[in-house]
Structure 1
Amino acid sequence: MTMIRNARLVPLAPGEVAPDQPLDVLVEGGSVTAVGTALDRPAGVEEIDAAGRWIAPGLWDQHVHLAQWTLASQRLDLAFARSPEDATRMVAERVAEYPELPVIGWGHRSGGWERDVTVSELDAVSGDTPVVLISGDGHHAWLNTIALMHLAMPVRDSVVREAEWFAAYARLSTLVGDDGTSPEAYRRTLDHAATMGVVGIVDFEFSGGVPEWQHRWANGCDLLSIRMATYADTLEDIIGRGLRTGDALPGCDDRLTMGPLKIISDGSLNTRTAWCCQPYADAHRLEYPCGQPNLSGAELRTLLARAHASGLEIATHAIGDAAVAEALASYADTGARGSIEHAQLVGRDDVREMARLGIRASIQPAHLLDDRDLTEKIWGDRSARSFAFRWMLDDGVELAMGSDAPVSPLDPWLAVSSAVHRSADERVAWHPEHALTPREALAASVDGQPMVRVGSRGDLVLLDADPLADLGDSAKTGAALRDMSVALTLVAGATVHSAL
């Protein structure tokens, strides 16, 4: 139980108006039980003086690959590699420094490089050291021959893409071990997330599912709320356990719950496998000029129907506009509920259909910072339909924001800032007609919670600055949001972070 004194409420929903004066907020039994002035403090309740800071619902990251994000700090950072030569030079340096350790790299974006890479050029700088370089979108990996053989994949001279890579990723621990994903490592990740005001995460990791999370929860990872997704290959296990979306996992409290079925229906922009209605600008380089679906329409509908009938929501990854349209048609045909994950390129009518069906748009605004230049290069004027948040919000689509960590950092303030000011550098905002206001972006980050009131969850953040402050232009406002300082984070009324 916690009493927070002298806190300013942050209005989020349209039409909400915050009181002029700071108020007291009492949290008992995991929810807010009183909001007002000079509240009586029940015996034994901890009291915290907010000193005029701003109080808001806690932040959620609605799309995280938690094991991969936990491992990211241990990997070779290739985000600044601008060519295959840059990447191989960095690999050679790592091999020279640690010749007996496998090299696992993350973050290169070869979609902007002038040529395709080869396994043989990676072999030339790595010798007998296994090398696995995972692209920044997570949809392909560049491996050397010894790594291909270790992970039981056919030897080839090209990268490994999409479904073949996703299956191989699950075997990566046989090469590098799993020390980086121990409960202790996860707990460090969760502790850091709490410092940014994160109270909950939807975990889309490829994993062992229920037993792994039960083990972590019992060994110190019971800090934040977690919704655990499943994939097609573990769907029948989840159904067999009788788990429905929202159910607490057996042996755990109601902060660790069953999430959605995750379906990866197409690829990505960087890998040029996102399924589009028109060809890519450099289609002459591609086996599939428009990208391609990972599942047929019948396969997609079968999965949606099976999950829906078993009480599971569905989170359908769809980046290209053709993939978005097919996913929405599948939701309509099956009556399934859930979200489109990413919805990076959309048609105007498809946004309206998303609203009609009540399908959420699970968006990752920080992706637009990385994808801006490549989108202009290979999608051209379709960039006007990319990251179309304003269309979605104006048409009544529910927005749920996240990071897709490690594709972007697990940082809700980076996501909010990116939605408000669509630029990462000195350039003007990219398609500012689709920008959100700070209130709209924050509202999309709090899992549907309104301004703090009686009955609100006891998942709260105390901020050192007003997150809705208008600083005159989007660049200044975005910068202030990016640097937001979190003084206190509560989950179910318990302090999980304090800088007071």
Structure 2
Amino acid sequence: MTAVVHDVLLRTVRRVGTSGAPCDVHVVDGRVVTIAPAGTLDPAGADTEVVETDGAWLGPGLVDHHVHFDQWALVRRRVDVSACDSAESTAALLADVARTGVADRVLVGHGYRDGLWPRPARRELLDQAAPGLPVVVISGDLHAVWCNALALAHFSQAVGRPLSAGEDGVLREQDAFDVTGALSNVADDVLDGYVADAVDAASARGVTRVVDLEMVFGLDRWTRRVRAGTDGLRVGSGVYPGELDAVIARGLRTGDVVDGTRGLVRMGPFKVITDGSLGTRTAANADGTGVLTWSFEELVPMVRRAVAAGLTPAVHAIGDRANTVALDVFEAVGARGTIEHAQLLDTADVERFARLGVAASVQPEHAMDDRDIADRHWAGRTDRAFVFASLDRAGARLLLGSDAPVAPLDPWVSMAAAVGRDRDGREPWHPEERLSALTAWRGSTDGRVAVAVGDVADLVLLEADPLAPRTASSALRGMRVLATAIAGRFTHREL
């Protein structure tokens, strides 16, 4: 377990969100107690750890407001097919992997995006790619899995019911979630090891807290991990409808701290999925396309019950119809919370976020991943897609995240996409919806801008000022993180 440091003096830092005048910052027992001009603070005692920063930029620790952490940890060990531009090239890549030998009983790829493929997925391509081996390819948005015949049979047995796919071999929505859930069923010690590595990687990018919306309730898993020494993140663990009764029976409320975790593990929100996704073409839209998972009449009593039990709602909505329904539910229940994704909005709904006190929990890199898919499948409507600046102008609170593994668990990627609406040298997509660097920063720091006396010392030290005028989105993507700390305890350090 990482040693706890109770007394740290950071020398010659420049604080993000200020004039940048060099200062010294003293942290005691996890809080910032003094900020003074550089060179004026001396160590309080022999146990003070003095860190010379040479003018590094100090900011609040970063937050990813939407991750699927177990999936992110597992994906880092699966075959990345995201660069494949067709069903045939995806199958060919997996065939190459199969020929080199597969250690597991199932060959798993991740990251296919078929919205622009010239020909659709076909089950026989995967049958031919790895004869005698179950093959599963998980879509980049997690809402579909492409299987060969052996995988369909294998996972029908694993989930305890028949899984039926057509000639394409693709399972969507709940069937897909059941397969990814079964794939996550690995030994605790193995998965915990994968998670520990992923926690270290997140810390190296300045992340101090995540909201984990893994589809199987993870509070007890995170408690076990922290007590065993995986203590590099604060985690809020959400719950879905299938386990809502169990959480209510335990008396857990959003924000409750789990004993024995040093404040690192808390009960998260109540997550409910109202529709599918853009990439899988199952987002519920006003034109009648897509899938509405729950009706308004079903959602209202469910959300009301969760709110009455002290749980904050986090409602997944991608399509414009789903977002309207989600806002209607918040209005009917009289609750505040978040809409997760908020990708396509009816213009009349934009102002409702602020009026109802509903935060937009958005993942800006999705706009970069899906811009071409949106141009095809939401043609004529993309002026209403990923409308970050419109939401900001309307007074809505914006929370930034990754939806990892759908996008990398890296807040600099999210901020860059929000600020630039560009990537890979392409022109910005709907540049009128770009956020200011300050707004993107606030969306990644729980609204904090500059480190101040009295703050909990969840901190990040950076090589450059992310709020400097004319900072390019490419510079944000490549931002070097020199150190990360939780309550003054370093979880990543290059100094």
Q: CA 1:23/1:442 → structure 2, altered by over 3 Å: closer, same or farther?
A: same
Aligned residue number for residue 260 of structure 1: 269
Aligned residue number for residue 384 of structure 2: 385
* Partner-residue secondary structure (3-state), 1:56: strand
Q: Specify the code of the residue in structure 2 equivalent to 1:465.
A: A
Q: CA 1:407/1:397 → structure 2, altered by over 3 Å: closer, same or farther?
A: same
* Partner-residue secondary structure (3-state), 1:229: strand
Residue 156 of structure 1: CA displacement? Answer: 3.0
Q: CA 1:84/1:74 → structure 2, altered by over 3 Å: closer, same or farther?
A: same
Q: 8 Å contact 1:365–1:387 — kept in the other structure?
A: yes
* Partner-residue secondary structure (3-state), 1:294: coil
- 1:88 and 1:20 mapped to 2: Cα distance? 52
Query: Which residue of 66, 75, 83 corresponds with 2:86?
Result: 83
Q: 8 Å contact 1:99–1:129 — kept in the other structure?
A: no
Q: Deviations over 1:138-190 (max 9, x none)?
A: 0000011111111113343331111122123222245xx34785322211111
* Partner-residue secondary structure (3-state), 1:290: coil
Q: CA 1:470/1:301 → structure 2, altered by over 3 Å: closer, same or farther?
A: same
**Structure-to-structure mapping, 1:481-496, within 5 angstroms:** 481-496=476-491
Query: Which residue of 236, 257, 263 corresponds with 1:227?
Result: 236
Q: CA 1:406/1:87 → structure 2, altered by over 3 Å: closer, same or farther?
A: same
Residue 39 of structure 1: CA displacement? Answer: 3.0
Residue 120 of structure 1: CA displacement? Answer: 3.0
Higher mean C-alpha displacement, 100-109 vs 188-197:
100-109
Q: Deviations over 1:405-427 (max 9, x none)?
A: 11111111111111111111222
Residue 27 of structure 1: CA displacement? Answer: 1.5
Q: Deviations over 1:77-113 (max 9, x none)?
A: 1101111111111122122221564211100101111
* Partner-residue secondary structure (3-state), 1:170: helix
**Which runs of no fewer than 5 residues in structure 1 stay unpaired?**
12-17, 279-288
Residue 74 of structure 1: CA displacement? Answer: 1.3
* Partner-residue secondary structure (3-state), 1:400: strand
Higher mean C-alpha displacement, 208-217 vs 64-73:
208-217
1:159 is aligned to 2:159: no
1:276 is aligned to 2:278: no
Q: CA 1:53/1:107 → structure 2, altered by over 3 Å: closer, same or farther?
A: same
Aligned residue number for residue 373 of structure 1: 372
- 2:53 and 2:440 mapped to 1: Cα distance? 24
Aligned residue number for residue 44 of structure 2: 42
Query: Which residue of 62, 68, 74 corresponds with 1:71?
Result: 74
Q: Deviations over 1:388-440 (max 9, x none)?
A: 11111111111111111111111111111111111112221111111012222
Aligned residue number for residue 149 of structure 2: 145
Q: CA 1:493/1:20 → structure 2, altered by over 3 Å: closer, same or farther?
A: closer
Higher mean C-alpha displacement, 225-234 vs 446-455:
446-455
**Which runs of no fewer than 5 residues in structure 2 stay unpaired?**
1-6, 157-161
Aligned residue number for residue 284 of structure 1: none
Higher mean C-alpha displacement, 90-99 vs 407-416:
90-99
Aligned residue number for residue 4 of structure 2: none
Query: Which residue of 224, 244, 264 corresponds with 2:253?
Result: 244
- 1:97 and 1:169 mapped to 2: Cα distance? 24
- 1:257 and 1:179 mapped to 2: Cα distance? 20
Q: CA 1:99/1:415 → structure 2, altered by over 3 Å: closer, same or farther?
A: closer
Q: 8 Å contact 2:219–2:265 — kept in the other structure?
A: no
Q: 8 Å contact 1:183–1:220 — kept in the other structure?
A: no
Query: Which residue of 93, 99, 119 corresponds with 1:96?
Result: 99
Q: CA 1:173/1:395 → structure 2, altered by over 3 Å: closer, same or farther?
A: closer
Residue 208 of structure 1: CA displacement? Answer: 4.7
- 1:126 and 1:100 mapped to 2: Cα distance? 13
1:198 is aligned to 2:207: yes
* Partner-residue secondary structure (3-state), 1:112: coil
- 2:446 and 2:102 mapped to 1: Cα distance? 46
- 1:185 and 1:298 mapped to 2: Cα distance? 40
- 1:215 and 1:451 mapped to 2: Cα distance? 33
Q: 8 Å contact 1:184–1:220 — kept in the other structure?
A: no
- 1:180 and 1:133 mapped to 2: Cα distance? 25
Q: 8 Å contact 1:449–1:456 — kept in the other structure?
A: no
- 2:155 and 2:259 mapped to 1: Cα distance? 33
* Partner-residue secondary structure (3-state), 1:207: coil
Residue 4 of structure 1: CA displacement? Answer: 1.1
- 2:329 and 2:29 mapped to 1: Cα distance? 41
Q: 8 Å contact 1:3–1:45 — kept in the other structure?
A: yes
Q: 8 Å contact 2:365–2:414 — kept in the other structure?
A: yes
Name the TM-score, length of structure 2 as normaliser.
Answer: 0.93
Aligned residue number for residue 457 of structure 2: 458
- 1:494 and 1:188 mapped to 2: Cα distance? 18
- 1:483 and 1:211 mapped to 2: Cα distance? 35
- 1:117 and 1:420 mapped to 2: Cα distance? 35
- 1:447 and 1:120 mapped to 2: Cα distance? 48
Residue 20 of structure 1: CA displacement? Answer: 5.0
1:135 is aligned to 2:135: no
* Partner-residue secondary structure (3-state), 2:472: helix
- 2:417 and 2:195 mapped to 1: Cα distance? 26
In percent, how many aligned pairs have the same letter? 40
- 1:459 and 1:398 mapped to 2: Cα distance? 21
Q: CA 1:424/1:396 → structure 2, altered by over 3 Å: closer, same or farther?
A: same
Aligned residue number for residue 10 of structure 1: 16
Aligned residue number for residue 172 of structure 1: 183
* Partner-residue secondary structure (3-state), 2:364: coil
Higher mean C-alpha displacement, 213-222 vs 125-134:
213-222
